[in-house]
Structure 1
Amino acid sequence: MKPRPTRLCIYPKDIQRITGKSERYSRNLMQRIRTSLGKQPHHPVTWLELATYLNLPPDQIRELILD
């Protein structure tokens, strides 16, 4: 059986699933992560950056974004 590919980038829908918050909250959180990392608005946020920012175990984040 082939291993499922994982995405490196996350989207607001992924953050909604992880946090249980709204899409608007998720978009704002992504913007706060970008600002704290010094990224420009067009730069993507990775699942590892999200885990670090939220102080959550990266393995749990990775499991939740497998689609």
Structure 2
Amino acid sequence: MKLERACIYPKDIQRITGRTERYGRKLLSKIKQHFNKEPHQFITIKEFAEYSGINEDVIKEYIMD
């Protein structure tokens, strides 16, 4: 059984959006505020998809090499 990664990182956002890694960090902070998460908590692919409006399958194509 192949395990899939559950969380998303700034570098993933950079690959998906074509923006800088710094933009990815800022966006993750905004998403954490949106979902009332603590700074140490992770953002899941599902949460990123919900916030950004990008389909989960599209996101997984970018982060699952």
The two structures have a TM-score, normalised by structure 2, of 0.92
Output the amino acid matched with 1:61. I
Residues 5-60 of structure 1: CA distance to partner in whole angstroms, max 9, x if unpaired?
A: 31001111000000100011000000000000000000000111111111011111
RMSD of aligned residue pairs (Cα, Å) = 1.1
Give 2:26's match in structure 1, choosing from 7, 16, 28.
28
Which of the two has higher C-alpha Rg?
1
Q: 2:53 is aligned with what amino acid?
A: N
Q: Equivalent residue for 1:66?
A: 64
Counterparts of residues 4-23 of structure 1 (less than 5 Å): 4-23=2-21
> Which residue number corresponds to residue 55 of structure 1?
53
Show the counterpart of 1:45: 43
Unaligned runs of 5+ in 1: none
- Normalised to the residue count of structure 1, the TM-score between the two structures is 0.89
The share of aligned pairs that are identical, in percent, is 48
Describe the SS at the equivalent of 2:42. coil
- Could you tell me which runs of 5 or more consecutive residues in structure 2 were left unpaired when the two chains were aligned: none
CA distance in 2, matches of 1:4, 1:64: 17
